[in-house]
Structure 1
Amino acid sequence: MSGGELRVGIISFAHLHAVSYAGCLAAIPDARLVAIADDDPRRGTTMAARFGVDYASDSAELLARPDIDAVIVTSENAHHAAHVIAAAAAGKHVLCEKPLATTREDALTMIAACREAGVVLQTAFPMRFSPPVIALRDAIAAGAVGEPLAVMATNHGRMPPGWFSDPILAGGGAIMDHTVHVADLLRWILGREVVSVYAEAATRMHPGIAVDDVGMLLLTFDGGLFASLDASWSRPATWPTWGGLTIEVVGDAGVIAMDAFNQNVQHYDDRDGTYRLVPWGQGGDPTMVATFVEAARTGSPPPVTGEDGLRALEVVLAAYVSAASHRPEPCPSS
């Protein structure tokens, strides 16, 4: 399509981010949420009623509708490939939740399907649109630290509920869930590719789950830059914030640090002993969804592509191979 209102469907509210994306669409003048498909009838009808849109019991019914131009795929990780490939075959533009897929082969097939169909494929990496992250990238590009030499990063939080700890549906645990964000950000901020990964993974915080909840990674980028990453579900259920994403870059002329989720008001209530952090400011979701709408409406390239999703996934897959071998492993794209 070229111009006009973008009519959007959402495939599954299995992922926690779906609610936010639906809310973002409501705030965009050139977009409208038309329908929701979900194989969980209770969840799907509840969300359809909440947003005042139609409900479809399966994605095929939604994709067959001529009044839908684009879809947001927020199903379980293992189902992304089937939903994206079907959407491309139906001529729908796609914003796909991260990780793009759970295997490299699926990701490549998804990218090829969208390219051949002539539809947009954007990977949902909202942290690229976070104001603190953008400020960090701009500062480094302006030479604030000179030549970057090393990076220390964290992305940790509470363990998500439900299928996130199912190795089949999720494709992995904390490393799968949290590494993709930082891998993408570091590629984007530094303008370099990861060439090898050394990782250790374990299940320490939540005994009995079948996936990793702790991951420590050492990434080597082209040019020899090292980056360490703590990607873990290491915060208790009562933790006052969703999680934390930090990046510190050491250069030959200085150091710069960024805390993406440190915009909050601290509130302690002496009456009941509660301590809360109330976030303020804009996160990355609204801008990310708006860029997808613009790309789908105008045919312009999305700012975050399917290939970006693939590159981040390759880092994750190399990390899991390394965690099993206890040796550094090359990234498939290197």
Structure 2
Amino acid sequence: MTDLGIGIVGLHNHYHAYPFADYLRRGVDGLRLVGVADERADLAKEFAAQYCDGDWTTDYEQLIRRDDVDAVIVTSYTSAHADHVELAAAAGKHVLLDKPIATTMADARRIVAASGQVKVMMAYLLRYLPAYRKVLDQVRQGAVGDLVSGFYSIRFPVGAITDSPNTDTQGWYADPVRGGGGGFLDHGVHFTDFFRWFFGQDAVSVTAHIGSLTYKDLGVEDYGIATYTMDGGAIVTVESTWHAPDYFGPLSSPDHASLSGTRGEIELHYQKSPQVEVQGVDDPWKGRHYFDLVGEERYEACYRDLLVAFRDWVNGAELRDLDGVPTAEDGLKALEMIIGAYESHETGRRVSLPLGEDTK
């Protein structure tokens, strides 16, 4: 079987585009990076020289339609996702799509429709963090009983969000049109997907508060917190921010989850040591159990494993055999939880989910 040729569409979310490209350059069996497109010619040229033998263009459609491109990684700014996925679908090219799926429910539905023509996989990194997959296996084995509540929080400084590796400004990230939102949407959509994945439940309602607490002139929010009731009865909270004064808070991870079950609790801090604490009341989980991964398995391996899962799905593996592959429908549902939270904040009321089909 020949390698799948991969094109990278947009370098706007450079935090993800560059690690994907780095793994492809180092070698992922069955995949090869053949080109990149970005309207910023200097950036595209520099990227191509480093990762794909100097092959670049400013024309997205030209890259997507190339005969040697079998699939694309879309890491363009969020409001461009629907257009780029539809271009790929029209050309018969499968898509690994950065989060969030879109800035609006209407665009998310366009992408779901396109996924009927080609395979569209969401690049939700948390689903491929080795520590998180190990913990989910333990949950499924009954380590903490049934999950009943959860809290996921990130404290992130806006200064760590930049338009490209060569700038120190937020650029499109702080543009309410191109980005669709700020600190709550940007990371919060990871966490709404996390709870759907870990709990195996969908949200039925949300209450939320969103605002600009530190960076009042940013143009988008730097803080949001939302509490969801899930269809299995669990209650979970997402707190997502860009308002931290620096990247690391004292004695804590900037990114952590606390999960409570009927027979125990779990702490997940993948950016801190130890990464995981599992405490149960039943053998063999009685007492406190810790584990901590090192090297690329601590974090970077999630990019490799995403690429491998995407390759296998494109090559014909069944979703049921690829545990946790996030589809376009998963992307829509994670975004819907965020859009519902914005609506709750704006109206001051609890919002029911799913949202109506007329929601834009």
Task: Identify the residue that residue 245 of structure 1 maps to in structure 2.
Answer: 255
* Letter paired with 2:110: T
* Letter paired with 1:123: M
User: 1:298 is matched with which residue: 293, 316, 319?
Assistant: 316
Query: Conserved in 2, the CA contact under 8 Å of 1:15 and 1:76?
Result: yes
Task: Identify the residue that residue 321 of structure 1 maps to in structure 2.
Answer: 343
Q: Write out aligned runs for 1:175-324 (5 A).
A: 175-237=184-246, 239=248, 244-263=254-273, 280-282=295-297, 283=299, 284-298=302-316, 300-301=318-319, 303-324=325-346
| CA offset digits 1:283-321 (Å, max 9, x no partner) | 211111221122223364461111111110000100110
1:88/1:158 CA distance change after superposition, 3 Å: same
* Letter paired with 2:43: R
Alpha-carbon distance, 1:235 to partner: 2.6
* Letter paired with 1:109: R
TM-score (norm 2): 0.83
Alpha-carbon distance, 1:234 to partner: 2.8
Query: Conserved in 2, the CA contact under 8 Å of 1:5 and 1:297?
Result: no
Alignment RMSD? 2.1
Alpha-carbon distance, 1:36 to partner: 0.4
Query: Conserved in 1, the CA contact under 8 Å of 2:115 and 2:328?
Result: no
Task: Identify the residue that residue 4 of structure 1 maps to in structure 2.
Answer: 2
* Letter paired with 1:108: R
Alpha-carbon distance, 1:262 to partner: 1.7
Report SS of the residue matched to 2:178.
helix
| CA offset digits 1:26-72 (Å, max 9, x no partner) | 22021100010111111111101111241111101112211110000
Alpha-carbon distance, 1:104 to partner: 1.2
Alpha-carbon distance, 1:143 to partner: 1.5
Query: Conserved in 1, the CA contact under 8 Å of 2:340 and 2:355?
Result: no
Q: Which moved more, 1:141-150 or 1:203-212?
A: 141-150
Report SS of the residue matched to 1:157.
coil
For the pair 1:114 / 2:120, whether they are aligned, the reply is: no
Could you tell me how far apart the structure 2 residues matched to 1:250 and 1:55 are? 48
* Letter paired with 1:10: I
Task: Identify the residue that residue 181 of structure 2 maps to in structure 1.
Answer: 172
Report SS of the residue matched to 2:257.
strand
Query: Conserved in 2, the CA contact under 8 Å of 1:198 and 1:327?
Result: yes
1:264/1:165 CA distance change after superposition, 3 Å: farther
1:143/1:238 CA distance change after superposition, 3 Å: closer
Task: Identify the residue that residue 75 of structure 2 maps to in structure 1.
Answer: 74
Task: Identify the residue that residue 276 of structure 1 maps to in structure 2.
Answer: none
Alpha-carbon distance, 1:238 to partner: 5.7
Could you tell me how far apart the structure 1 residues matched to 2:83 and 2:331 are? 16
* Letter paired with 1:244: P
Q: Write out aligned runs for 1:28-43 (5 A).
A: 28-43=28-43
* Letter paired with 1:75: S
Could you tell me how far apart the structure 2 residues matched to 1:204 and 1:329 are? 23
Task: Identify the residue that residue 12 of structure 2 maps to in structure 1.
Answer: 14
Query: Conserved in 2, the CA contact under 8 Å of 1:264 and 1:280?
Result: no
Task: Identify the residue that residue 104 of structure 2 maps to in structure 1.
Answer: 103
Query: Conserved in 1, the CA contact under 8 Å of 2:248 and 2:254?
Result: no
1:264/1:46 CA distance change after superposition, 3 Å: farther
Could you tell me how far apart the structure 1 residues matched to 2:354 and 2:12 are? 29
Alpha-carbon distance, 1:233 to partner: 1.1
Alpha-carbon distance, 1:178 to partner: 1.2
Could you tell me how far apart the structure 1 residues matched to 2:125 and 2:175 are? 24
| CA offset digits 1:153-182 (Å, max 9, x no partner) | 113322212211110110011111011111
Could you tell me how far apart the structure 1 residues matched to 2:211 and 2:70 are? 42
* Letter paired with 1:316: I
Could you tell me how far apart the structure 2 residues matched to 1:310 and 1:95 are? 15
Q: Which runs of 5+ in 1 are unaligned?
A: 266-278
Query: Conserved in 2, the CA contact under 8 Å of 1:195 and 1:331?
Result: yes
| CA offset digits 1:142-161 (Å, max 9, x no partner) | 21222222112113322212
**How many residues matched?**
316
Could you tell me how far apart the structure 2 residues matched to 1:114 and 1:146 are? 35
Structure with more of its chain in strand, by fraction: 1
1:294/1:333 CA distance change after superposition, 3 Å: farther
1:143/1:239 CA distance change after superposition, 3 Å: closer
Q: Which moved more, 1:44-53 or 1:256-265?
A: 256-265
Task: Identify the residue that residue 168 of structure 2 maps to in structure 1.
Answer: none
